[in-house]
Amino acid sequence: MARRRRIYEGKAKVLFEGPEPGTLVQYFKDDATAFNNRKRGTITGKGVLNNRISEYLMTRIGEIGVPTHFLRRLNMREQLIKEVEIIPLEVVVRNVAAGSISKRLGLAEGTTLPRSIIEYYYKSDELEDPLVTEEHITAFSWATPQELDEIVSMALRINDFLCGLFFGVGIRLIDFKLEFGRLYNDDDVRLVLADEISPDSCRLWDVKTNEKLDKDRFRRDLGKVPEAYQEVARRLGILPEAGPTDFKGPKVMQ
Ligand code: TMP
């Protein structure tokens, strides 16, 4: 890890300078945090699984014509991505009430929402990612009205696609968080899907049992945390081959 210039270190990932201009290496850690860093822990094997799960989902999303930052996997914990200018928003899409919307609006967890709802949170650790409106976003120039229109249409397309993809493997996509970035190409700028899509950034419930297969197992101390991430990868058909040094997760469940 010391061989390259570290560009940025977040709670679950590190970004390094890439091998060519305009690229970065995204390294997935096993570290997990919740409640704005108040709860910290390690989920053994999470980085390996999220690297693979995010690669898989970004690749499928790219195939339906939504551009993403993903270029290729480099190794068990790293992927090569395009360098983008991150829009400082967490774009949350919700299909079913859970987590903060349940608390804020008094909705029982598991209540299907009347339609998919998009929310925006301003990315700021100091402010603990406050919920913001389109008015804030455009007034403070975090994104232009045109960019926001594009973000909404990309987020809804991704939601429809991922709902079907997960439903096909017996998982209900309750909600998830997306981030977008600006990709500069000569004089032209376009928005691409960035960051990651993984059980860290989604709520995924088993269709039949409603069992949680995501980071809520860590947030809420439900146990079997690495197993949940592994089960998502297994159902998607992308469990990485166990490497003795890097992946020490539990045995594959058949
Ligand atoms: P929330 O119910 O806590 O607002 O979370 C909504 C979704 O966004 C959930 O799938 C988890 C994801 N999420 C992140 O990826 N990062 C975050 O910092 C938070 C708060 C939520």
* Cα-to-centroid distance, 77 and ligand 1 (Å): 22
Q: 154 — phi, psi (to 5°)? A: -65, -45
Q: What is the pLDDT, as a whole number, of residue 241?
A: 60
Confidence (pTM): 0.94
Our answer on whether the CB atom of 173 is closer than 6 Å to any ligand 1 atom is: no
119 with 192, same domain: the answer is yes
Instruction: Specify whether 92 is located in the same domain as 184.
Output: yes
Burial of 88 (0-12, 13-18, 19+ CB in 10 A): middle
Q: What pLDDT score does 3 carry? A: 73
- Ligand 1 centre to CA of 202 (Å) is 7
Same domain, 39 and 71: yes
pLDDT in tens, 50-99: 999 999 999 999 999 999 999 999 999 999 999 999 999 999 999 999 99
pLDDT of res. 239: 87
User: In the predicted model, is pLDDT for residue 252 greater than 60?
Assistant: no
Considering its fold, how many domains does the chain have in total? Answer: 2
- Residues 96-120, mean pLDDT to the nearest whole number: 98
In a domain, 236, yes or no: yes
Q: Domain of 19?
A: 6-84+220-253
Q: Is the CB of 162 under 6 A from ligand 1?
A: no
- Same domain, residue pair 131 and 48: no
Cβ–ligand 1 contact at 176 (below 6 Å) = yes
Contact 92 CB / ligand 1 (< 6 Å):
yes
Q: What is the pLDDT of residue 74?
A: 98
Backbone φ, ψ for residue 207 (5° rounding): -60, -40
DSSP letters for 150-218: HHHHHHHHHHHHHHHHHHTTTEEEEEEEEEEEEEEETTEEEEEEES--STTTEEEEETTT--B-STHHH
**Within this chain, do residues 99 and 189 fall inside the same structural domain, yes or no?**
yes
> Quick check: is 212 in a domain?
no
The pLDDT confidence band at residue 232, using thresholds 50, 70 and 90, is: very high
Q: How confident is the model at residue 242 (pLDDT cuts 50, 70, 90)?
A: low
Q: Please tell me the residue having the least CA distance from ligand 1 atom 11.
A: 201
Contacts of 208 (CB under 8 A, 6+ apart): 170
Do residues 90 and 198 share a domain? Answer: yes
CA of 2 to the centre of ligand 1 (A): 31
pLDDT tens-place string over residues 162-217:
999 999 999 999 999 999 999 999 899 999 999 999 999 999 999 999 999 999 99
Pair (31, 92) in one structural domain: no
- Residue 254: pLDDT over 70: no
